[in-house]
Every structure is written in structure tokens, then in C-alpha cells.
Amino acid sequence: MAFPDLVPDLKSRMGALRGRLIANQPLVELTWFRVGGPAQVLFMPEDEQDLSHFLTHLSADVPVTVIGLGSNLIVRDGGVPGVVIRLGRGFNEIKIEEGSRIRAGTAVPDVKVARAAQEASIAGLSFLRGIPGAIGGALRMNGGAYGGETRDVLIEARGVDRGGRVRIFTNADMHYTYRHCGAPDDVIFTEALFQGEPGDPAVISAAMDKITESREATQPIKSRTGGSTFKNPAGHKAWQLIDAAGCRGLTVGAAEVSQMHCNFLINRGGASAADIETLGETVRARVKGTSGVDLEWEIKRIGVARE
């Protein structure tokens, strides 16, 4: 499907905008599942100032959706109305600062920050190696893996709100809980400052290698997947509940519950977003029926269903 083209009107309102505006841009290649419809408008700002300028001049009635690397995301088959913002080159800088600190743009993959920390002899950030996304996603959902979480190392985050105002959030301002951030939903994070501690590069490298080996041995990372599908409920592990409900290997169309790790859904080739989401909801219903536990989606789902 195609949405009405908003780009000419947006350009007329924006003046000296430097970023790219693209109408009806397919998003399928920007998600790890390789499913989904187009963005009505895709905007890729040049830098924070450009992003602020755009949001300042954007009509309040135009919906805004932010995507990162697409690793933990389902874009529904009908696409995403309004503007989809994807941060790129202007948000991918990493700086090593005094006191074992690292400043990183939110388009930087988590693994690159982990590597930069290792090379700078900074310990405490190795867990980022196990998160298949970018820093922006880690900030927004308190991303974590292998015993570490974003809230453990974040000093402050910088972002732009829906009105175009640049704002700074301390760790406390983020109101973090498990896989949840309490900062305002309209804020688009642009940069993060992390605190590590002095460490031995060889020891840090070994820890990262161990994480890599564990992921390769236990997760279907070479498949078209979206990472962990559901949050771990209090007192439970999601994969155990899913396994106990008999969902390992369950399919809907070409979508499948991974045989390797049943808290992962995979696109075996040709699955639609509806197949994947329906499979997830089927898993939720079966787990509810067998254990009484309501699984909560960890994967973000955006857009509208195909008509």
C-alpha cells in the first residue's frame, strides 16, 4: 500500500532542513525480521540540531515514530503512518572521556561501545556485547544482558522532545525498571554518557568472547529474528514458560518459535508481520492457559495491519 505523500508539504514548512525526507519508504530491509510495510515519510536528520529544527516545525498532528537498527522490532504489514525518524551518521560518534567514561551517539551499535570500552581499558560495559541493537534502544528500554543493564552504567542521556527542545536526563530522571524507561515517550535520545571503571583489556576481551560464544551456542542469531520476544515475568523465565506450554517449534505461516531458544521468533522466509505477531499472541495465550502468567512483549510493534 502507499500513503498520501506528505513530503512536499513538510519541505515547504521546514526551510533549511538538511536531513533526508523520503515518501513511502519501504522499511522491510531496515528490520531484522525483514517484514513490514512502508513509512509514510522516513526522515534521517543530519545531526541533533537538524532533528530539533524538524520537530520544532512539524505540525503536532503528525505522528512520529522512532526506529533504530530494527533488531527488536516488528513493522506491521500496512506500514507506519506519519513520520518515521531514523538516526544515522550524525549520531554515531564515540568519545572516550576522563574517569573511565564513554560518550556515544544513539545510532552507535551497542557492540561498538563495548569494543571501544575494551580498547580504552574500561571495564563494566561488556554486557553491551550481548544486546543486538543500538544505544538509543538500550536507553529507551533499559537494555540488558549477561548480568548488566543500562541503568547500571548510565550517567546521563541527552535527547530532543516533540517540541524540538534539547533535554538532559540524569540516570534518576530515566526512572528505570526492568526493560522499561520512565522518561517521556516523546523524547528522541541522541547521546548517552556511560560510567565504567579501569580494567585490563585482556580480561575485558575474554569476557566479551564468552558472551559471543554463549549467544552463538544458545540463540538463533543467524536467523531472521527480533531477539528476545517476551520479558521475563517476575519469578519466571519466559523461555521456560513457553517450552512448558508446548510452543517450541510452533508455526504460523512461515513464522516459527525457535527450536534453539523458544523466546525467539524467527522468519523462516516469506513470513508476514501478521504471521509473526499472530504467532506471538498464540504463544501468549498458551502460556496464560498453562501457567496463568501473562507474558509481556519485549519486541516493539509499530504501524498498522494491512487492510
Helix (H, G, I), strand (E, B) or coil at 292: coil
Rounded Cα gap, residues 269 and 124, in angstroms = 38
Cross-strand pairs, 135: none
From 48, 191, 256, 298, the catalytic residue:
298
Number of Cβ atoms within 10 Å of the Cβ of 13: 12
Rounded Cα gap, residues 256 and 267, in angstroms = 7
20 is catalytic: no
Helix (H, G, I), strand (E, B) or coil at 207: helix
Determine phi and psi for 226, rounding to 5 degrees.
-120, 20
Cβ atoms of 142 and 169 within 8 Å: the answer is no
Q: What angle do CA 22, 26, 30 make, to 5 degrees?
A: 105
Cβ atoms of 129 and 206 within 8 Å: the answer is no
From 86, 129, 179, 284, the catalytic residue:
179
179 is catalytic: yes
From 71, 228, 258, 272, the catalytic residue:
228
Number of Cβ atoms within 10 Å of the Cβ of 138: 30
Please name which of 260, 215, 265, 241 lies closest in space to residue 72, comparing C-alpha atoms: 265
Residues with catalytic roles: 179, 228, 298
